[in-house]
Structure 1
Amino acid sequence: MIIGVDLGGTNIRAGLIQGGEVLQSISHKLTNKHSLDATLEQIIAVIEPLVSEEVEGIGIGVPSIVDVDNGVVFDVVNIPSWKKVELKKILEEQFHKPVFVNNDVNCFALGEHQFGAAQPFDSFVAISVGTGLGTAIVINRELYLGVNCGAGEIGYFPYLDKNLEYYSSSSFFDIHDTTAEELFYDAQEGKPKALQVWQEYGHHLGNVLKVVLYAYAPQAVLLGGSISNAYKYFEESMYLSMDDFMYPSLLKQVKVIHSKTENIALLGAAALVPVKALV
């Protein structure tokens, strides 16, 4: 058995995994993000109930750049206290199990390639939209990490008066004095204002996809993350904003897929333990 952990900017989840199935999972809301000790205590508290002699290792995805070889996490944007954290060392000393650390969106891509919608593709880009905007790149069935998992950080590309992430993640909904969750429920009730905001969001996300297509020309783009749960409300405007893409023949060949694989972040994190890379 393996423990997979997904550290997000909002929540921490851990799951006990065997044979590609999540046997048990625990989730806590991440609090006191300005305290490194407090956040580490929360991570330990989520993992600890799952640890047993049968557990072979722990894989953890984090929303930032990572020195994969040494398991050191740097500069987590949505957790201000995490500047340089020797996470592998800390967790191995705590649990006496091998620990493997990677970027959370890389884990999402890894999980989808092994267990989900990306299995048919040799090269694809995974995009996760939630608290932030994250991207993972798979080329010829292998994750392309760059230095310290720094490849694919397209969210920081300049866009309008901010950057792509600002208009394509949870911060976009702050502009409208609401949250993605509230707008999702309002859209389900057919409220015009909510539907209009989702269309506006789709326009911005379509521009993100154009950047991905120009940069990587992948076989597929996989959309995941909490905001993607509202996919049907922004899908149309997302595609409309891509109408001016310069290479229509390429656009026709690229498949845009909404990830629906349950617990994919945990499965991807757990997959770090035996392989640390796509095979």
Structure 2
Amino acid sequence: MASVKPKKHLGQHFLKDENIAQKIVESMTNEEKLPVLEIGPGTGVLTKYLLQEDDIDFYALDVDSESIDYLKANYLTKSDRFLFQDYLKYDVPFERFNVIGNFPYNISSQLFFKIWDDREKVDEVVCMIQKEVADRICANHGNKTYGILSVLLQAFYDIDYLFKVPPGVFNPPPKVQSAVIRLKRNSVSQLACDEKLFKRVVKAGFGKRRKTLRNALKDLNLSDTASSLEVLNQRAEQLSVQEFISLTAKIS
């Protein structure tokens, strides 16, 4: 098999710049030498550098069977490391692990929600995503790009915006700018509130972001005491992560 054809329906844009690929891999600190899961290896431009780390348990997941077959053929001695699996549905068999990849742009948000669900397992993430999504994840409160993923991920991760990547280094070139970010699990083991309710509050608040939280959270059937909270006069984008945690604790 000579190569892998990028597939539009899978949102594939294969990185072809070796320097950027190496820089992405080197951005993962992996201080504890945890297993590494690559999501969407494509033609293996990151994979070749990841496989150089002999002391790391490495696996790559892709829903593109052509990609998996290609990588197995090119890395015969590591063929068991390439899995025809969808991370969104995959129960990772490690207690803790790291994630790396050039995330398919059409499902990047879904991948981050899965990472949030796996937050007790996922220690570090280094990924290339659409710049717009990177800006959103890294945004602070009071910023128009601040949103659901900003709050959920920042509650459990320290996030670094590493560098931008131009369209010309991909095949085919995307119509958008890209960026590489790193998420490192922080010291928060558990939020000071109901975490399921926290997620509901955040999603409801930003679901109607132009409205005040009092209106946006109506479907949560708040008690009279909770409904009288002064903070509900603000919009979701005005609240810091800690203020969302505090609000959730007060209305639970």
TM-score normalised according to structure 1 size = 0.28
Q: Which has the larger radius of gyration?
A: 2
Higher strand share: 1
